[in-house]
A and B are shown apart, each in its own frame.
Chain A
């Protein structure tokens, strides 16, 4: 079937969400690891900050990223009428 302009807009917004969340993932992973030595100079509740991020901070960020994506996309699906009804 032919996609409408509205459908294309849905996909573009999806790409924007994906890009932003991917950027957060990239920072929490690679930027954090790259500067781990510098971050370790800061102490956070006893932890050197670089160690804390790699051991739990970044992991928690990953969980949050995926949660945000699920919530945002559910709303986007409904706004653009491509949702799956009330399948729970």
Chain B
């Protein structure tokens, strides 16, 4: 045992040396680019440097970690120290949505957005207490492996494979989409080209070395993404709070934001703009009530003003404007209806800013309580979904021991915490900056970053002088959530090289998550479906080769789906969590904590949990009900994303009831459960760990 301990500690100190050196190298690289920028390097070239240098780096690590050994390929040889597995899990976990979208969501929704922050961190408590150490002791390769061994039979394994693939695939599409978006934005490459450049980086890495390559790349990616996330926030924090760790001081900034919100609500100019929106929305509603009449009247009116402009010899530009109005008038009633519907949506902009820190806003007690229930629903589903997503649980197979798996969950959450407790801070600082520097500025002299972003991407930042007073009112600004992280370096007044760094960080977040997910899908197919069910005599070389081929196939299918830009990815991601929570959490936890849980309990429980979850989504989510699924009322007003709040308890109860109705599991299975519960049972005859 001492020689093993020796090799583990040597390995660990070697890793520490490598990654310290690597971090220093990366910082030097960024500084060199900053210098090059001062010497006149163009923005596009800075973008290219970040893109190709980081992807090349990941590919290099992947190449150095290439392997054809089964245990190395599936679980990185089970020798990843807790600290490094924590970093890898952090990168695996934090997706493009966390990196780019999270702060934006918090900016737009205030307190209510914190449901995601809590849900995506608190789930690790469940991983630590219920799953990680026991899965590590079990020591196979995949999550369906555990279900199949514990409950016996291929039906359970098949349900496991289907659930693992469904939730991972939905999630991977969102990641590849993020990769395409970032590469195209920062290098000017086309979206499709961006997708394939990113994909190449993912594939070199995971194909050559499987879990081993993915692990060491994810550690490298975590380092880049956390540096990229924190750098601009530290600067912005210095600007507004005066200390370099604004996470501990932005409470007072939040108070100032609250004061400014009150000022904006009471400001007469702001009220004027909001009234314009309210009037336009009301006019739209009125027109929609009597479409044919309104269409004819509106058309007559614009034509009339053109005639009068011409006949009264009005100045040329007035005539031109009137002509334009006639030309722009909708060609038929249906087109006009679309336009009016858009106008009624402006009602949203006629409301004063909602207080950032206020929990569960609503017009009355009932509405507020529904908001609270939905907050709790999201927290619940994200937490239990976290504790059931195969690509995360798989990571805890890779540590050297059970104790290391426990410690590893601690490091995982610690590294995730660093980003997640910064995001709400960034949202508040950005809001404060905009309230003080953007609101009240002249349209002719907007802050530089605002002018630049409004020109580049009106979808992210749109400022229009609604009341024509030449001054920016908050009600005149429309912000897309992704702007917050992408534009922070410029808001903080940092050189462009930091924007490139942020893009590299977003790319690292998306690539690392995509790596882990693709590997999960390919392993479910090659290990669980092919090796365990179709050809149990396959040689190890054949198994690894098949896994690599499948990885390529899955990646291409995912890229193909992504290139169609499927809408509403956020709902799909949320749905993946609800589905995972309903299908996986009950059988995994009961499998360890309740010996009496048996095969039929697991089969029926997983099926019923999934069915309830899917049923609720189908009957309530507009995407499905618009396709002809009969619509039903929300249960307790809970939104479709939180369907897992029904699926999970029902699934859990079903396992218990059905298990009691059928015969207890065999003695071997009960011994397996005992085996899993003790890190090292001396004299134990059960051997579960696969080498």
> A residues bordering B, Cβ < 8 Å?
1, 3, 7, 10-11, 14, 18, 21-22, 25, 28-30, 33-34, 36-37, 40, 44-48, 50-52, 54-56, 58-60, 62-63, 65-67, 69-70, 73-74, 77, 81-88
24 contacts between A and B (CB under 8 A): A7-B678, A18-B129, A25-B125, A25-B126, A34-B372, A34-B376, A36-B111, A37-B359, A45-B251, A46-B251, A51-B254, A54-B114, A55-B117, A56-B247, A58-B122, A59-B118, A70-B403, A73-B133, A77-B679, A82-B681, A85-B680, A86-B5, A87-B1, A87-B400
Residue in B1, B253, B360 whose CB lies within 8 Å of A36: B360
Question: Bound state CA distance, A55 and B356, in angstroms?
Answer: 12
Q: Contacts A45-B251, A46-B254, A48-B357 given; indicate if A66 touches B679 (C-beta within 8 A).
A: no
- Contacting chain A: which of B279-287, B300-308, B317-325, B404-412? B404-412
A45 CB to nearest chain B CB (Å): 5
A7 CB to nearest chain B CB (Å): 7
Q: Contacts A73-B406, A82-B681 given; indicate if A3 touches B118 (C-beta within 8 A).
A: no
Question: Bound state CA distance, A29 and B115, in angstroms?
Answer: 10
Residue in B117, B379, B420, B677 whose CB lies within 8 Å of A11: B677
Q: Contacts A56-B424, A69-B406, A74-B403 given; indicate if A46 touches B681 (C-beta within 8 A).
A: no
B687 CB to nearest chain A CB (Å): 12
A residues near B683, Cβ cutoff 8 Å? 1
Are B1 and A47 in contact, CB atoms less than 8 angstroms apart? no
> B residues bordering A, Cβ < 8 Å?
1-2, 4-5, 8-9, 12, 81, 111, 114-115, 117-118, 121-122, 124-126, 128-130, 133, 247, 249-255, 357-360, 368, 372, 375-376, 379-380, 383, 400-404, 406-407, 409-410, 413-414, 417, 420-421, 424-425, 671, 674, 677-685
Residue in B133, B357, B379 whose CB lies within 8 Å of A30: B379
A26 CB to nearest chain B CB (Å): 9
A residues near B402, Cβ cutoff 8 Å? 84
Are B1 and A50 in contact, CB atoms less than 8 angstroms apart? no
A residues near B130, Cβ cutoff 8 Å? 18
A85 CB to nearest chain B CB (Å): 5
Q: Contacts A40-B358, A51-B359, A66-B128 given; indicate if A59 touches B417 (C-beta within 8 A).
A: yes
Residue in B250, B358, B380, B421 whose CB lies within 8 Å of A59: B421
A residues near B360, Cβ cutoff 8 Å? 36-37
A residues near B677, Cβ cutoff 8 Å? 11, 14
A8 CB to nearest chain B CB (Å): 10
Are B129 and A21 in contact, CB atoms less than 8 angstroms apart? yes
- Which residue in chain A gives the minimum CB-CB distance to B422? A56
Residue in A30, A34, A45, A59 whose CB lies within 8 Å of B121: A59
Question: Bound state CA distance, A69 and B249, in angstroms?
Answer: 30
